[in-house]
């Protein structure tokens, strides 16, 4: 496969350094032996856009002789191989990116658990040092003022609006919407589960969805 130069693609290796817009938020944090409350300023990517295989296939076509169909065909084969390897309990190493491993849980709480008590709770991705080194030169631009965590009514309205176009929500996405810290967001989502307003998405770690009759779900 030949690599071709394209004026439409700014390649990180060609000296182009991306600038990532960031937003600030005042995040609730509990610390200290007595549980006293304090605040910290969190930073996160502002309005991250999803890049899917379709877009990457087009970009690859601009940079190489591979057609979008070629790229998607290879991806379909690799995806099948990755799923097969994970299903056998293997750790999948994606050179230059990181590794994928299954996360397991004892969903019944039995002690000790048997094979029937074990379920896949999610897939863990561990970034490779090469990936982190490649991203070390990324520049960041902080925009706007520090955002305050949403009040309970504001958060409820935001979640209703979010679930109009989404089926579920991750901890990181909840943190972005609520302006809470990640740990606080996880705790809040578990509170929703405890009150029957949300449930965990099976086999997807850290992902939640509304139960029927909550947040607009019918």
- Beta strands at 139-147 and 118-127: parallel, antiparallel or unpaired: unpaired
Most confident of 30-39, 57-66, 71-80: 71-80
User: CA-to-CA distance for 192 and 187, rounded, in angstroms?
Assistant: 9
Average pLDDT over every residue of 173-194: 89
Mean pLDDT for all residues in the chain: 85
Domain ranges of the chain: 18-49+91-210
What percent of the chain lies above the pLDDT cut of 70?
A: 86
Q: Angle at the Cα of 167 (from 100 to 92), degrees rounded to 5?
A: 5
Candidates 217, 180, 172, 209; CA nearest to 192 is 209
What percent of the chain lies above the pLDDT cut of 90?
A: 48
Q: What is the pLDDT, as a whole number, of residue 94?
A: 96
Position 33 pLDDT exceeds 70: no
Average pLDDT over every residue of 207-216: 93
User: CA-to-CA distance for 122 and 86, rounded, in angstroms?
Assistant: 11
pLDDT tens digits along 97-146: 999 999 888 888 888 889 988 988 888 999 999 999 999 989 999 877 77
* Measured CA distances, 157 to 160, 167, 177 (Å): 5, 16, 11
Position 7 pLDDT exceeds 90: no
* Measured CA distances, 90 to 77, 81, 128 (Å): 17, 11, 17
């Amino acid at each position: 496969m030949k690599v071709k130069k394209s004026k439409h693609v700014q390649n990180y290796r060609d000296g182009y350094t991306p600038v990532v817009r960031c937003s600030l938020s005042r995040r609730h944090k509990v610390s200290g032996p007595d549980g006293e409350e304090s605040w910290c300023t969190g930073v996160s990517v502002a309005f991250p856009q999803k890049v899917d295989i379709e877009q990457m296939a087009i970009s690859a076509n601009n940079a190489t002789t591979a057609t979008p169909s070629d790229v998607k065909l290879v991806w379909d084969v690799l995806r099948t191989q990755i799923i097969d390897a994970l299903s056998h309990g293997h750790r999948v190493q994606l050179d230059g990116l990181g590794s994928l491993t299954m996360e397991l849980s004892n969903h019944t709480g039995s002690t000790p658990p048997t094979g029937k008590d074990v379920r896949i709770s999610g897939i863990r991705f561990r970034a490779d040092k090469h990936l982190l080194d490649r991203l070390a030169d990324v520049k960041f631009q902080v925009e706007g003022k520090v955002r305050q965590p949403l009040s309970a009514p504001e958060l409820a309205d935001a979640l209703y609006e979010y679930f109009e176009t989404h089926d579920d929500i991750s901890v990181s996405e909840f943190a972005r919407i609520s302006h809470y810290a990640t740990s606080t967001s996880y705790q809040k989502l578990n509170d929703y589960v405890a009150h029957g307003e949300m449930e965990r998405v099976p086999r997807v770690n850290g992902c939640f969805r509304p139960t029927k009759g909550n947040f607009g779900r019918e």
